């Protein structure tokens, strides 16, 4: 079997770039040569040993774009592709209703299968999306988190002229803020990290410190933090009859939401999980037409040999979105 180097979580808090077996395509799955892969909060959770499903030896990376390594259907070798990393069962109640993003047994490439911080990986054929031949693949590497933000804004029911507040100025929080602004909302953001506050402000987002800064509150609050301390504070950011959208993933369990405030204020709480096909298609359209400048959020592109340094940099809170450029597969 041929080998390639990949970014691997070894267990505990140890990540390393080391040789792994090059995965081979199988029925229904197709090989993709990865051009760029993004590192996100889920990757950091895995790298810190805190993800509930990932197992040691996992090749990281579920945000990636690249080229087909083999023909697939009518698509030729070398076709630029975006990859939806989700793997659904197709037979549960959610899947049969067309809601594959909430499949009862949903798994992901990069968490449950070898990921994209490697020169080559294999993905379900139904998860590939053709991109234009002249696509900017660096920008296209943000399609996955942008699709998350598209779905969150759509789920919120945000209307022109609404006031929206985003808790958490990480990449997804900033994307939600930028899309909400584009949708015609007045947007504010709260974030404790000084570096992320600075980055969000440079993107044109307005930073506030407390719910008191909003007067009567926001029509929609997006919780992009996934942090337990935020849950109990959500009603304070909202106006009466406002909507809270849970974007960031929490650990399983109870998180102290003030249900009396939810009741008395007739607050609506909405969950949003990753994306559906229409959200991906919208994100692709935004990026490939230049209507959304993805480069604004990309802090740095690292080579594969620098991937551990990239993880350490994010652990220190440096930058916003970093990409890894894996290079060509070895021995193929």
Give the residue-averaged pLDDT of 156-175: 97
Q: Using pLDDT thresholds of 50, 70 and 90, give the confidence band for residue 329.
A: low
Give the residue-averaged pLDDT of 293-303: 96
Query: What pLDDT, on the 0 to 100 scale, is given for residue 162?
Result: 98
Give the residue-averaged pLDDT of 93-105: 97
- Per-residue exposure over 277-291, b if at least 16 CB sit within 10 Å of its own CB, e if not: eebbbbbbebbbeee
CA–CA gap between residue 118 and residue 64 (Å, rounded): 10
Query: For the segment 30-42, what is each residue's pLDDT rounded down to a tens digit?
Result: 999 999 999 999 9
Query: What pLDDT, on the 0 to 100 scale, is given for residue 255?
Result: 82
Q: Does domain 146-271 have CATH number 3.40.50.720?
A: yes
Question: Can you read off the two tokens belonging to residue 313?
Answer: 């940099």
Using DSSP's 3-state secondary structure scheme, residue 137 falls into helix
Calculate the average pLDDT of the chain: 95
Whether the per-residue pLDDT at 173 is higher than 90: the answer is yes
Question: Can you read off the two tokens belonging to residue 258?
Answer: 């003030």
CA–CA gap between residue 332 and residue 35 (Å, rounded): 16
- Is the overall model pTM greater than 0.75, yes or no? yes
Query: What pLDDT, on the 0 to 100 scale, is given for residue 200?
Result: 96
Query: What pLDDT, on the 0 to 100 scale, is given for residue 254?
Result: 75
Q: Which residue did the predictor score with more confidence, 249 or 272?
A: 272
Going by their DSSP bridges, the two strands 298-303 and 321-325 should be labelled as parallel
Query: What pLDDT, on the 0 to 100 scale, is given for residue 247?
Result: 97
Least Cα distance to 207 among 166, 176, 244, 236 occurs for 166
CA–CA gap between residue 142 and residue 331 (Å, rounded): 29
Architecture of domain 3-135+293-325: Alpha-Beta Complex (3.90)
Query: For the segment 186-240, what is each residue's pLDDT rounded down to a tens digit?
Result: 999 999 999 999 999 999 999 999 999 999 999 999 999 988 888 889 999 999 9
Q: Which residues contact 20 (CB under 8 A, 6 or more apart)?
A: 3, 4, 5, 6, 8, 59, 114, 118
Query: What pLDDT, on the 0 to 100 scale, is given for residue 1?
Result: 57
Q: Using pLDDT thresholds of 50, 70 and 90, give the confidence band for residue 331.
A: very low
Give the residue-averaged pLDDT of 79-102: 97
- If one counts every other C-beta atom within 10 angstroms of the C-beta of residue 302, the result is 21
Query: What pLDDT, on the 0 to 100 scale, is given for residue 253?
Result: 78
Question: Can you read off the two tokens belonging to residue 193?
Answer: 């990290």
Indicate where the chain has its CATH 3.40.50.720 domain(s).
Answer: 146-271
Query: What pLDDT, on the 0 to 100 scale, is given for residue 332?
Result: 44
Indicate where the chain has its CATH 3.90.180.10 domain(s).
Answer: 3-135+293-325
């Amino acid at each position: 079997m041929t080998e390639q180097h990949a970014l691997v979580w070894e267990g505990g808090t140890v990540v390393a770039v080391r040789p792994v077996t090059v995965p081979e395509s199988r029925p229904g799955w197709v090989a993709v040569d990865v051009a760029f892969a993004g590192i996100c909060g889920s990757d950091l959770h895995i790298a810190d040993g805190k993800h509930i499903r990932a197992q040691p030896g996992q090749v990281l990376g579920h945000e990636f774009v690249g080229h087909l390594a083999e023909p697939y259907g009518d698509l030729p070798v070398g076709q630029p592709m975006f990859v939806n990393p989700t793997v659904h069962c197709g037979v549960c109640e959610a899947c049969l209703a067309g809601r594959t993003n909430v499949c009862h047994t949903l798994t992901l490439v990069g968490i449950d299968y070898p990921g994209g911080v490697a020169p080559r990986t294999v993905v379900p054929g139904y998860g590939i999306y053709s991109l234009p031949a002249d696509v900017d693949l660096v920008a296209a590497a943000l399609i996955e988190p942008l699709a998350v933000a598209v779905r969150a804004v759509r789920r919120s029911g945000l209307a022109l002229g609404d006031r929206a507040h985003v808790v958490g100025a990480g990449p997804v929080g900033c994307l939600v803020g930028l899309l909400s602004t584009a949708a015609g909302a007045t947007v504010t953001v709260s974030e404790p990290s000084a570096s992320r506050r600075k980055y969000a402000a440079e993107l044109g987002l307005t930073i506030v410190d407390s719910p008191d800064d909003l007067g009567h509150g926001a029509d929609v609050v997006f919780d992009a933090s996934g942090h337990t301390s935020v849950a109990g504070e959500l009603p304070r950011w909202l106006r009466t009859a406002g909507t809270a959208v849970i974007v960031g993933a929490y650990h399983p369990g109870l998180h102290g939401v003030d249900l009396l405030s939810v009741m008395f204020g007739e607050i609506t709480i909405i969950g949003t999980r990753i994306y559906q096909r229409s959200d991906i298609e919208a994100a692709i359209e935004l990026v490939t037409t230049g209507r959304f400048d993805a480069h604004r959020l990309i802090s740095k592109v690292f080579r594969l040999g620098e991937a551990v340094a990239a993880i350490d940099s994010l652990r220190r809170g440096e930058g916003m979105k970093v990409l890894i450029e894996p290079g060509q597969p070895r021995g193929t």
